[in-house]
Chains A and B, each alone.
Chain A
Amino acid sequence: MKRLFLILSASVAMAAFADAQENKGYLTGSLETNNHYYMDDNAVGTSVDGDRFASNDYLKLDYYNGNFSAGMQMEGYLPAIIGYNTEAYPSVLSGFDLSNFYASWKDDSFSVTAGTFYDQFGSGLLFRSWEDRALGINNAVLGARVTYTYKNILSLKALWGLPRFGMGLFTSSDREFANTATQIRGGDVSFSVSDLLGWNNLYLAIEGSALSRFEPIANEALKKEGAQESTLGWSARANLEYSGFFLKGEFVDAGWKYFGNPDYDWLDSNSNKYTGKKGNAALVDLGYNGRGLGVTLTARRLEYMSSHIFADPDNGDLRGLVGNTLNYIPALCTQYTYMLTNLHPYTAFSPSILSADNRTSGEMGFQFDAFYNFRRGTAIGGKRGMKIHANFSTYYGIAKEYTMKTGEMLFRDFSFDVERQWTKKFKMLLMYSYQKYGNVRLQNIFVADLLYKFTNKLSTRLELQYLSTKQDEKDWMAALVEVNFAPHWSVFASDMYNHGSSGTHYYNFGVSYSKSRTRVALGYGRYKDGYICSGGVCRRIPAYTGANLTVTTSF
């Protein structure tokens, strides 16, 4: 397989080169390198056992010539920075290799892609392949995809391939983690009723997808209890938009998923070791956008929806890896960006394993967001306008599987922020956030974010934050100062101080330089254990202290 793709790669490059002589195409690419240097820190008890130096590196190249394009990505984890691999699986991302590669041809109606590609059906609940470098997710599919579009009326898509796990299939033959077993086959159709009937004001589209997942099963007991090597899932969707009002609905039947049976009794020969569950989800988006107002209500119910590349029900460690995924089940609540608002992020509840203590099959809930712009020149907007935003979300566990019966409250938050440009030089944002995590934690967070421009080139930003809670580590305070020298330089220093309990300071300072498409950032700090979140999915990271150097460039 590897040889086949390398031969393909050489032929594609030659073809591209030959073509380029006739009609010069163009090459574009990007390079990213994230480097950490870890240090012992007695104050918080972190010591470095293994490598002090770690580096994640990505080189991506794409060549375009008319309808033709080809590209590749190389990745190096030398070794991977902290938190990318887990204790149980320390080398899923390791070494340096060619990880992604594709050649593609497309015109106004057709496209054909061979090699690795990213795609998703609907919201991604049934299937999503994507890259998120912050999380270490890259489940690009290695195979083939064909699409066909007829005007704006019909879009068809068919794909087949092996989802990437670890470094991908181009890895050295001695590497342990490359997916050569799990295959997916899928199709997606989107049909615009409004374009067919020539409606001008109303947009209505009906969509559907199917995904077949194949994974060989060696476990005889699992087979005997009904698990199939091929499972089929599907989704049906509708999108409606009229004069700024929108309604989107999606229903997903994700097919059978197998779990270790929490009631298994090994002394009883009639007891089943595994149990099959039907994955299913429903998602509704409803709202209005227009005249400076944006309102969105999103409701979602999901049950047994985790879909894995490797689904071994006996291996919770493997199932729990963030990169071992075939679909996208993000937390549907505000993704906060300030230090203390993001100290305890919520992640959507979808069980990877079932236990006698926790049989909750999934979660249900909703979020509501409203954004409004008070225009310039109005009584409230003043001379420069004012923006407000409010958010509310609440999620519950499902008390009884396949029902709408809500169980324990998992998460609830409310936030409100107001942003105002007081003068040409001074801008202010104030935010309040209430976050409740079941019965475990209740916290109130206050943030002030102040920006002052001294000149066109010199500006400073100050963040002041306070977190109040009676639980866990009690109260926190935090501050950040940033000084910007446009167009190239920016320096910052911040501190997160847990004055309520441990008295620990989590300081951080750094400098960055940007020019054109290149950015270099150097920082040093003490980082708390917790989660790095991106797109509503989180990766656990342990505490560390050290320096980091990031360079990103593209051309």
Chain B
Amino acid sequence: MKRIILMISLLVSAIASAQIPSVVVENIKGESYQTKSLLEEGTPMIISFWSTSCKPCIRELDAVYDALPDWKEEVDFRVVAVSTDDSRLMAKAKSFAEGRGWGEDFLLLFDKNQDFMRAMNVSVVPHVFVTDGKGKIVYSHTSYVPGNEVELFEAIKKVCGK
């Protein structure tokens, strides 16, 4: 036990800003997608972890989807919706996202064995992150109630310098 505590204290002393770890997920076609490719465009991002059985997650992404045309008039950013549904519901999650129109405006990723979710230390969904253009996490929030999207927009405006 002593060694464990020693190890934790050593690790804690090495904290710097969290970033996006490199993990393999799937895109809507079923192809492998390296999460580090998210950084290639160099734009700030909203990364939202959701699942088909999580009602607040769906409400949050719907709210973002509805507000997106207005938000995009002010700042340039991307929305990445990461489904944490496992292989049982992954095919359904793809149809679900398409059936809500999200595919037009969001980058849809599917994390069927929750590797990305674990690497980002998301233990409950909904969980949303805002990153700058280099992938540095500048804001994160767990759970959603209507109105939380206002705070999210403020965070993305701040990272865009507005």
Binding site for B on A (CB under 8 A): 6, 9-10, 13-14, 16-17, 20, 24-30, 32, 58, 60-65, 69-70, 72, 74, 98, 106, 118-120, 122-124, 128, 130-131, 133, 149, 152, 155, 190, 192, 203, 205, 239, 241, 246, 248, 285, 287, 289-290, 292-296, 298, 328, 330-332, 335, 337, 369-373, 375, 384-385, 387, 389, 421, 451, 453, 455-459, 484-487, 490, 512, 514, 516-519, 535-536, 552, 554-555
How close is A433's CB to chain B, nearest CB, in angstroms? 14
Q: Chain B residues near A9 (CB, 8 Å)?
A: 3-4, 7
Interface string of B5-48 (1 = CB under 8 A from A): 01110111111111101100000111110000000000000000
The smallest beta-carbon distance between A517 and chain B, in angstroms, is: 5
Q: How far is the CB of B143 from chain A (nearest CB, A)?
A: 4
Contact assessment for A287 and B121 in the assembled complex, using a CB-CB cutoff below 8 Å: no
Nearest-CB distance from A361 to chain B (Å)? 21
In the bound complex, do residue B148 and residue A63 qualify as a contact, i.e. CB atoms below 8 Å apart? Answer: no
Closest to B118 in A: A118
Q: Which residue in B22, B66, B99, B141 is a CB contact (below 8 Å) of A372? A: B99
A519 to B127, CA, bound (A): 11
Beta-carbon contacts of B71-103 to A below 8 Å, as 1s and 0s? 000000000000000111101101111111101
A-B contact pairs, 15 of them (CB 8 A): A10-B6, A26-B14, A62-B121, A65-B14, A120-B112, A152-B32, A203-B30, A241-B29, A241-B30, A246-B30, A373-B99, A373-B100, A486-B151, A516-B141, A554-B121
- Kindly list chain A residues whose C-beta atoms are within 8 Å of the C-beta of B146: 451, 453, 459, 484, 486
Q: Knowing that A9-B7, A335-B52 are A-B contacts, what are 8 other residue pairs whose CB atoms are under 8 Å apart, sorted by A's residue number?
A: A98-B4, A124-B113, A128-B87, A292-B98, A385-B101, A389-B96, A519-B124, A554-B140
Please name all residues of chain A whose beta carbon is closer than 8 Å to the beta carbon of B118 when the two chains form the complex.
60, 118, 131
- A328 CB, min distance to chain B CBs, angstroms: 7
Contact, CB under 8 Å: A17 / B13: yes
Q: Are B145 and A332 interface neighbours, CB within 8 A?
A: no
Q: Does the CB pair A371–B13 fall under 8 Å?
A: no
Contact check, A289 vs B95: say whether CB atoms are below 8 A apart: yes
Contact B88 A330 (CB under 8 A): yes
Question: In whole angstroms, how far apart are the Cα atoms of A9 and B1 in the complex?
Answer: 12
> Which residues of chain A come closer than 8 Å to B124, judged between CB atoms?
32, 519, 552
Where the two chains meet, the residues of B that have a C-beta atom closer than 8 Å to any C-beta of A are: 3-4, 6-8, 10-19, 21-22, 28-32, 52-53, 55, 59, 66, 86-89, 91-92, 94-101, 103, 112-115, 118-124, 127, 140-143, 145-148, 150-151
Q: Closest residue of chain A to B145, judged by CB? A: A484
Bound CA–CA A216/B143 (angstroms): 46
With contact pairs A459-B146, A514-B141 given, residues A20 and B89 touching in the complex (Cβ less than 8 Å): no
Residues of A within 8 A of B17 (CB): 26
Residues of chain B with a CB closer than 8 A to A293's CB: 98-99
Smallest CB separation, B16 vs chain A (Å): 4
* A456→B150 contact, CB < 8 A: yes
Roughly how many angstroms separate A60 CA and B97 CA in the complex, as a whole number?
Answer: 30
A456 and B92 within 8 A (CB) = no
Closest beta carbon of chain A to B61's beta carbon, Å = 12
- CA distance in complex: A525, B13 (Å): 42
Contacts of B100 in A (CB 8 A): 371, 373, 387
Give every chain A residue within 8 A of B52 (Cβ-Cβ).
Answer: 335
Q: Which of B95, B114, B120 has the most CB of A within 10 A?
A: B95
**C-alpha spacing A387/B97, complex, angstroms:** 11
Q: How far is the CA of A30 from the CA of B119 in the complex (A)?
A: 11
**Do A24 and B14 touch (CB < 8 A)?**
yes
Query: Of all chain B residues, which has the CB nearest A286?
Result: B91
Question: In the assembled complex, which residues on chain B have CB atoms less than 8 Å from the CB atom of A246?
Answer: 29-30, 91
User: Which 10 pairs from chain A and chain B are nearest by CB?
Assistant: A371-B99, A294-B95, A486-B147, A484-B145, A20-B14, A294-B98, A13-B7, A330-B88, A289-B98, A123-B87
A517 touches B11 (CB 8 A): no
Known: A120-B113, A289-B28, A487-B147. A60 touches B4 (CB 8 A): no
Contacts of A519 in B (CB 8 A): 124, 142-143
Whole-angstrom CA separation of A149 from B141 in the bound complex: 34
Q: Do residues A27 and B7 form an inter-chain contact, with CB atoms below 8 A?
A: no
Give the distance in Å from the alpha carbon of A555 to the alpha carbon of B32 in the complex.
28
Across-interface contacts of B145 in A (CB, < 8 A): 459, 484-487, 490, 514
Question: How far in angstroms is the closest Cβ of chain A from B54?
Answer: 8
In the docked arrangement, what's the CA distance between A335 and B55, Å?
12
For B147, give its contact among A27, A64, A98, A456 (CB under 8 Å): A456
Cα(A103)–Cα(B123), bound, Å: 20
B150 to chain A: closest residue by CB: A456
Closest Cβ of chain A: how far from B63's Cβ, in Å?
Answer: 10
Q: Which of B29, B53, B92, B141 contacts A369 (CB 8 A)?
A: B92
